[in-house]
Amino acid sequence: MDYRRFFETAVTRLQEERRYRVFAHLERCVETFPQAVWHRDDGSTRDVTIWCSNDYLGMGQHPDVIAAMVETASRVGAGSGGTRNISGTSHAIVELESELADLHGKEAALVFTSGWISNLAAISTIADLLPDCVILSDASNHNSMIEGVKRSRAERKIFRHNDLAHLEELLIEAGARPKLIVFESLYSMNGNIAPVAEIAALAERYGAMTYIDEVHAVGMYGARGGGICEREGVMHRIDVIEGTLAKGFGTLGGYVAGDRVVIDAIRSYAASFIFTTALPPAVAAAATAAVRLLKARSDLRAAHQRASHITKHALAAAGLPVLENGSHIVPVMVRDAELCKAASDMLLERHDIYIQPINYPTVARGSERLRITPTPRHTPEHIVALVESVADVWHTLGIPFVEPPQHLHIDAESRERCTYPEIKLAAQ
């Protein structure tokens, strides 16, 4: 039998549906981030500016984070030696879990090799340990959360995105059964924020347990970087907080934080934790350095928000279709898969700007977009170049502008702190 043809057919189908993913060969530069070296197929290289990194605060290039990784690797080696059950728990992971529990005001935390795995493991384990549990999951939850819900044997029901009335209907319907509400604080494709306090109130009223994914908010929001829940003052009202070390903290790994007994139960029952090689100590040490640093660096969070606000406003003032939201995510809507890919390619080839196209199945068909993520290291000059380049691509490809141009909200502090004339004018 010709097995190869099945795989060729599968890949061809993705290409025909315009869903085939092409990776850019990039090499980031510590000293010049957000600059990177683009290794082209012909063997040549070009310098490009990255505008779609999830290393939101640039912690992956921070000297303290790099130093912690290098020192730990040189002292204890590159790998972890196996699972924590077999090779023991490294001191670096113990320190990291302590820092994460403290960050969220919880009794304990548990570190996984990725945020995807932490959601898969924790959601399914919690739901399966609750007898006759029903999971109430937001319709826009991330794939990792969906997989965690599906892996569980519990009944699951989907509530409309951020729809409190629908969630309450399902809570009433579930009656006295154990209930687990699973939702995100910040939804990364649209950049909108959940009504976390209101969801916590519903959970308390109807006796439900809450599980929140804060992966796109930890490090970036709250007085110490604890996320949206810290900013809204509801961390103590959420049972389990899940986060990542790979975005705001710039390293690798995922985690959950909560009551000691809940975290211990996940540690003891989750197969994807028990049988997975532990995070290398050097990575854990780097993550700990980033968490400690960001607990004290509200200035980095403020700089990040300023860059995001100014970028949004400048793009919108140029008539580009920015999807307004209350977060640092800057979605520029294309609403066509082929045009979205073409826009991304043209930005790279013509303007040395890298922004990955976001197409189905990451977003719904007809809502394709460029997802821009400014960092504190994007300068006003970078923003001017971005706006001019995206406008040129829109004109060249015939992508519709917004008429009249949008006027997004921008806070006075961001406007006053911006000194580059072109951006300041756009922000007024």
By the 8 A CB rule, do 164 and 199 touch?
yes
127: closest CA among 180, 57, 197?
A: 180
Task: Give the phi and the psi of residue 57 in degrees, each rounded to 5.
Answer: -105, 5
CA–CA distance, 197 with 199 (Å, rounded to integer): 5
Q: Do 60 and 36 touch, CB atoms closer than 8 A?
A: no
Q: What single letter denotes the amino acid at residue 71?
A: E
CA distance to 47, 163, 185, 231, 369, per residue, from 241 (Å): 39, 21, 10, 14, 29
How many whole angstroms separate alpha carbon 78 and alpha carbon 84? 16
Helices (H), 110-191: 115-129, 143-151, 164-174
Q: Which H, E and C letters describe 23-64, residue by residue?
A: CCCEEECCCCCCEEEEECCCCCEEEEEECCCCCCCCHHHCHH
Cα torsion 27, 189, 323, 427 to 10°: value is: -40
Q: Is 247 a known active-site residue?
A: yes
What is residue 399's DSSP assignment? P
CB contact at 8 A, 290 and 251:
yes
CB atoms within 10 A of CB 312: 29
In the three-class reduction of DSSP (H, G, I as helix; E, B as strand; rest coil), residue 182 is classed as strand
Q: Where are the alpha helices (DSSP H) in 212-353?
A: 228-231, 260-269, 271-274, 281-296, 298-317, 337-351
382: amino acid identity, one letter: H
Out of 247, 312, 341, 424, pick the active-site residue.
Answer: 247
Is residue 352 classed exposed, middle or buried when 0-12, 13-18 and 19+ CB atoms within 10 A define those classes?
middle
Strands 254-258 and 240-244: antiparallel
DSSP letter at 186 equals: B
Q: Which residues are catalytic?
A: 247
